[in-house]
Amino acid sequence: MVKHSLDAVATAVASAPRRSIIERLGEGEASMSALAEHLGVTLPAVDKHLRVLVGAGVVTKRKSGRTTSVRLVPGSLEELGTWAMSTRLMWSNALDRLEQHLATTRATTQETP
């Protein structure tokens, strides 16, 4: 499996329509027509979004006759999820420390006449 950059994946999921495509594909493979109907947009609009998602390695397209099927690449969002969780943990810890500091400051201020 080719590893794609975290930046490419983050850019790909930064768009609400592309996130909607990813959520829909989480239910299983879909045709481009089904995705266009799901989003309420034209096939060229879906194709534009899919080019970004394919380029980031998030989805693959397979053509069979006149139908193009799209599916999620397993594990393609894993690195982004790991980064998001570690960032969330870092901010959670920083905010906990700030809360403790403010509580200490308030207690010290209230004790001083």
pLDDT of the residue at 35: 97
Asked whether residue 41 carries a pLDDT value surpassing 70, the answer given is yes
Q: Is the domain of 98 the same as that of 55?
A: no
| Band of residue 3 on the pLDDT scale cut at 50, 70, 90 | low
Sign of CA dihedral 41, 47, 52, 56: positive
Token pair for residue 11? 């850019």
- Measured CA angle at 96 (ends 94, 100), to 5 deg: 115
**Is residue 1 situated within a structural domain?**
no
Token pair for residue 61? 């397209």
In the chain, how many domains are there?
Answer: 2
Token pair for residue 74? 């397993």
Q: Is the domain of 34 the same as that of 65?
A: yes
Q: Is the domain of 81 the same as that of 107?
A: yes
Predicted structure pTM score: 0.71
Q: Is the domain of 13 the same as that of 53?
A: yes
Q: Is the domain of 57 the same as that of 109?
A: no
Q: Which domain holds residue 11?
A: 6-72
Segment 65-106, tens digit of pLDDT? 999 999 999 888 887 777 778 778 778 778 888 888 888 888
pLDDT of the residue at 70: 97
